[in-house]
Amino acid sequence: MIYLRPSMKPFPALTVVVPVYNEAESLPAFLPRLLEFSENHGWKVVFVDDGSRDDSGQMLESRARPPAVRVIRHKVNRGYGGALKTGLLAADTPYAVTIDGDGQHDPEDILSLFQVAVERDADLVVGRRVPFHRSNWYREFGKSLIRLFTRMLMPLPIQDLNSGFKLYRTELVQAYLHVCPDSMAFSDVIVLTFLNQKDLVLEHPIRVALRKKGKSTISAYTAAETVMEILNLMMLFNPLKIFLSLSAICFAFGIVWGTPILLLDRGVSVGAMLAIVSGLIFFVIGLVASQLSSMRLGELAARRRKNKDRTS
């Protein structure tokens, strides 16, 4: 645990965003501790009840004390990312931190991430779970595949990509929310967005407790969905890397396949020509996708400038 030195300047304001979905069993132990810790540090708290079907909404409402403690309720479940978007858009402080509502995160770690962000002027600090909570082998295998797939597409200096414990510079995260999905893939995509925009992204170790009550909604479908969202993000930020790779593979395959046949004076292979033409098509698609990407990135940069001007 890192503590503040007496000589340090006071931290700027912070909003704690907590998505909640059917966590009535976990909230009685988690709520009092979080609210007391946040009150002692002068932080705001925003709970987002994402269409819970149990008593989570009523439990949160009983603790609401606007403007310090707010509860926003979705009529229907929008997904983990959808709940985080709602909470982060409601933040009006320079920094915002997201933690899960299942009681696995320790509120005291917020202070550590906050200190790292202020001292190093970071734009995003990811809470790296140490040790990683290995609930089952297939979930960890899925996470490993996601990290491997991501590293194939782009540099990845972050180890715990899908940690739900993150501290953001609010003006930036609000500018990036429109490119993020409403699903569990939000955790991965938001980090990759910060990295692609050349923002300073750091990691800091946090403690994670075992889930004592309630049930996780993460499944194999979540992992597959995350891979698709990462691929979709790469189509936004760097489509040429994907299409040029496909183009090179097809073109090389066509040359290697067709050259021996041509040297043997057996004519031109139809399969080889198909591969070469496919390579050319992928190349042209990559150029078009790159132009569309430039337009979308220009929109993203405009949102950043707008948010910066609004907060300055």
pLDDT digits (tens, 9 = 90+) for 72-124: 999 999 999 999 999 999 999 999 999 999 888 999 999 999 999 999 999 99
Please state, in angstroms and as integers, the Cα–Cα distance from residue 22 to each residue in 33, 90, 123, 232, following that order.
19, 21, 31, 30
Residue 172 has a CB neighbour count (10 Å cut-off) of 18
Percent of the chain with pLDDT over 70: 82
Going by C-alpha positions, the residue among 86, 117, 66 that lies closest to residue 19 is 86
Pairwise pLDDT comparison (221 vs 118), residue with the higher score: 118
Q: Mean pLDDT score of the chain, rounded to an integer?
A: 84
CATH architecture of the region 14-236: Alpha-Beta Complex (3.90)
Q: Are 165 and 99 in contact (CB under 8 A)?
A: yes
Is it the case that residue 10 has pLDDT exceeding 60? no
pLDDT digits (tens, 9 = 90+) for 27-60: 999 999 999 999 999 999 999 999 999 999 999 9
* Angle, in degrees to the nearest 10, between helices 220-237 and 239-263: 90
- Spatial distance between the Cα atoms of 27 and 257, rounded to a whole number of angstroms: 63
Here the tokens at position 160 are 């715990």
Q: pLDDT tens for residues 239-286?
A: 888 899 999 999 999 999 988 888 888 877 889 999 999 999 999 999
Q: Read out DSSP for 239-287? A: HHHHHHHHHHHHHHHHHHHHHHHHHTT----HHHHHHHHHHHHHHHHHH
Of 281, 259, 277, nearest to 268 by C-alpha is: 259
Helix (H, G, I), strand (E, B) or coil at 199: coil
Grouping H, G, I as helix, E, B as strand and the rest as coil, residue 70 is strand
Confidence (pTM): 0.78
Provide the pLDDT for residue 2: 39
Q: Which helix (H) or strand (E) holds 188?
A: helix 186-196
Instruction: Tell me the torsion sign for CA atoms 97, 103, 104, 109.
Output: positive
Would you kindly state where each structural domain of the chain is located, as residue ranges? 14-236, 238-311
